[in-house]
Structure 1
Amino acid sequence: MNPRAVRAWMMYDWANSAFATTMMAAVLPIFYIEVASKGLSSSTSASYWGLTQAAGMLLVAILAPVLGAAADYAGKKMFFLRGFSYLGIAASFLFVFIGQGDYLAASLLFVLGTVGFSGGNSFYDALLPDLVPEEQKREYISSKGFAYGYVGGGLLLVVNLLMIQKPGLFGLPDGEAGTRLAFASVAVWWLLFSLPLFRHVKDRTADAPIPFRQYTRMGFSRTWETLKSLKQYPQLLKFFLAYWFFNDGINTIITMATAYGKAIGIGTSDLIMALLITQFVGIPFTLLFGKMGERLGAKPALYISLSIYLLIVLLGYFMTSATHFYLLAVMVGFVQGGSQAVARSLFSRLVPADRTAEFFGFLSVSGKFSSMVGPAVFAATGLITGSSRYGILALALFFLAGIALLRTVNLEQGTLEAKKAAAGSAAPSC
Structure 2
Amino acid sequence: MSVLANERVIVKENDIVERQMSFDNVSMESSKIQDFDAKPTTQRELIAWYMYSWATDGWTAASSSVFMPIIMSTMGTLGGTNGRDPTKHCNLVDPCYVQLGSAHVSPSSYALYITAIAVLVQAFIYIQLAAVADHSKHGKAFMIFFGFAGSITVLLWSVLSKNPTQYWGAGILFVLGTIFYGSSYVFYASYLPKLARNAPEVTEATDPVDKARKLTLRTSRTSLMGLCCGGAGGFIQMGIGIGVLYALNQSLLGLLVATSVGGAWWAIFTFIPLFFLKSRQGPPLPKGETYLVYPWKRLLKTMKRVSHLAQLFKFLLCWFFLSDGIYTILKVSVLFAQTVVHTPSVTLLIGAMVELFVSVPSYMFWGWVEKRFHIKPKTLLILLSFLSSMIPVYVLIGFSPNVSGGFKHPNEYIGLCAYFGFAAPSAISYARSTFSELIPLGRENEMFSMFLITQGGGGWIGPLITGVIGDKTGNMRYCNVFILACILVPMFGLFFVDVEKGKAEALSSAERDAQELASFESVKDDVSS
Q: TM-score, normalised by structure 2?
A: 0.73
Residue type of the alignment partner of 2:71: F
Which of 318, 322, 344 is the equivalent residue of 1:242?
A: 318
| Displacement of 1:68 | 0.8
Which of 101, 105, 110 is the equivalent residue of 2:169?
A: 105
- Give the whole-Å Cα distance in 2 for the aligned partners of 1:235 and 1:367: 17
Structure richer in helix, relative to its length? 1
Residue type of the alignment partner of 1:374: G
- Per-residue CA shift, 1:176-200, capped at 9, x if unaligned? 5544543432232112222222222
Matches within 5 A, 1:305-316: 305-316=384-395
Q: Is the aligned partner of 1:277 residue 2:354?
A: yes
- Give the whole-Å Cα distance in 2 for the aligned partners of 1:341 and 1:91: 27
Q: 1:53 and 1:396, CA in 2 relative to 1: closer, same or farther beyond 3 A?
A: closer
| Displacement of 1:90 | 1.4
Q: Is the aligned partner of 1:286 residue 2:384?
A: no
Residue type of the alignment partner of 2:242: L
| Displacement of 1:96 | 4.4
Residue type of the alignment partner of 2:149: L
- Give the whole-Å Cα distance in 2 for the aligned partners of 1:61 and 1:22: 22
Q: Is the aligned partner of 1:78 residue 2:118?
A: no
Alignment partner, residue 52 of structure 1: 114
- Per-residue CA shift, 1:59-107, capped at 9, x if unaligned? 2111012211232132443132122112101111223432413334323
Q: Is the aligned partner of 1:39 residue 2:79?
A: yes
Alignment partner, residue 37 of structure 2: none
Gaps of 5+ in 1: 169-173
Which of 124, 148, 159 is the equivalent residue of 1:62?
A: 124
- Give the whole-Å Cα distance in 1 for the aligned partners of 2:450 and 2:512: 21
- Give the whole-Å Cα distance in 1 for the aligned partners of 2:291 and 2:437: 26
Q: 1:207 and 1:64, CA in 2 relative to 1: closer, same or farther beyond 3 A?
A: closer
| Displacement of 1:386 | 7.1
- Please say if residues 318 and 491 of structure 2, whose CA atoms lie closer than 8 Å, have aligned partners that are also in contact: yes
Alignment partner, residue 202 of structure 1: 278
Alignment partner, residue 511 of structure 2: 423
Which of 195, 219, 229 is the equivalent residue of 2:295?
A: 219
Alignment partner, residue 221 of structure 2: 140
Larger radius of gyration: 2
Q: Is the aligned partner of 1:328 residue 2:410?
A: no
Q: TM-score, normalised by structure 1?
A: 0.89
Residue type of the alignment partner of 1:149: G
Residue type of the alignment partner of 2:362: F
Q: 1:6 and 1:324, CA in 2 relative to 1: closer, same or farther beyond 3 A?
A: same
Identity of aligned residues (%): 24
| Displacement of 1:139 | 0.7
SS at match of 1:322: coil
- Please say if residues 279 and 333 of structure 1, whose CA atoms lie closer than 8 Å, have aligned partners that are also in contact: yes
- Give the whole-Å Cα distance in 1 for the aligned partners of 2:265 and 2:472: 44
Q: 1:193 and 1:408, CA in 2 relative to 1: closer, same or farther beyond 3 A?
A: same
- Per-residue CA shift, 1:355-380, capped at 9, x if unaligned? 11111111212332354443455466
Residue type of the alignment partner of 2:232: V
- Per-residue CA shift, 1:291-348, capped at 9, x if unaligned? 3334311022112101101222222212133343332222111112100001000000
Which of 437, 444, 449 is the equivalent residue of 1:361?
A: 449
- Per-residue CA shift, 1:237-275, capped at 9, x if unaligned? 111121112111101211111233345424133333222
Residue type of the alignment partner of 1:28: M
Q: 1:2 and 1:158, CA in 2 relative to 1: closer, same or farther beyond 3 A?
A: same
SS at match of 1:102: helix
- Give the whole-Å Cα distance in 2 for the aligned partners of 1:369 and 1:135: 27
Q: Is the aligned partner of 1:15 residue 2:55?
A: yes
- Please say if residues 61 and 231 of structure 2, whose CA atoms lie closer than 8 Å, have aligned partners that are also in contact: no
| Displacement of 1:205 | 4.2
- Per-residue CA shift, 1:159-181, capped at 9, x if unaligned? 1221132149xxxxx95554454
Alignment partner, residue 382 of structure 2: 303
Q: 1:392 and 1:263, CA in 2 relative to 1: closer, same or farther beyond 3 A?
A: farther
Q: Is the aligned partner of 1:155 residue 2:236?
A: yes
Q: Is the aligned partner of 1:347 residue 2:435?
A: yes
- Give the whole-Å Cα distance in 2 for the aligned partners of 1:34 and 1:370: 24
Q: Is the aligned partner of 1:232 residue 2:296?
A: no
- Please say if residues 15 and 194 of structure 1, whose CA atoms lie closer than 8 Å, have aligned partners that are also in contact: yes
Higher mean C-alpha displacement, 31-40 vs 129-138: 31-40
| Displacement of 1:219 | 1.8
Q: 1:365 and 1:388, CA in 2 relative to 1: closer, same or farther beyond 3 A?
A: same
- Give the whole-Å Cα distance in 2 for the aligned partners of 1:338 and 1:12: 18
- Give the whole-Å Cα distance in 2 for the aligned partners of 1:35 and 1:225: 45
- Please say if residues 135 and 284 of structure 2, whose CA atoms lie closer than 8 Å, have aligned partners that are also in contact: no
Gaps of 5+ in 2: 1-40, 82-95, 100-106, 198-214, 398-405, 523-529
- Please say if residues 118 and 460 of structure 2, whose CA atoms lie closer than 8 Å, have aligned partners that are also in contact: no
| Displacement of 1:349 | 0.4
Higher mean C-alpha displacement, 224-233 vs 368-377: 368-377
Q: Is the aligned partner of 1:192 residue 2:268?
A: yes
Q: 1:44 and 1:379, CA in 2 relative to 1: closer, same or farther beyond 3 A?
A: closer
Alignment partner, residue 24 of structure 1: 64
Equivalenced residues, count:
425
- Please say if residues 251 and 371 of structure 1, whose CA atoms lie closer than 8 Å, have aligned partners that are also in contact: yes
- Give the whole-Å Cα distance in 2 for the aligned partners of 1:178 and 1:398: 35
- Please say if residues 134 and 283 of structure 2, whose CA atoms lie closer than 8 Å, have aligned partners that are also in contact: no
Which of 410, 413, 425 is the equivalent residue of 1:337?
A: 425
Q: 1:198 and 1:327, CA in 2 relative to 1: closer, same or farther beyond 3 A?
A: same
- Please say if residues 286 and 335 of structure 1, whose CA atoms lie closer than 8 Å, have aligned partners that are also in contact: no
- Give the whole-Å Cα distance in 1 for the aligned partners of 2:141 and 2:333: 36
Q: Is the aligned partner of 1:128 residue 2:192?
A: yes
| Displacement of 1:50 | 3.9
- Give the whole-Å Cα distance in 2 for the aligned partners of 1:341 and 1:266: 32
- Give the whole-Å Cα distance in 2 for the aligned partners of 1:355 and 1:382: 40
- Please say if residues 249 and 399 of structure 1, whose CA atoms lie closer than 8 Å, have aligned partners that are also in contact: yes
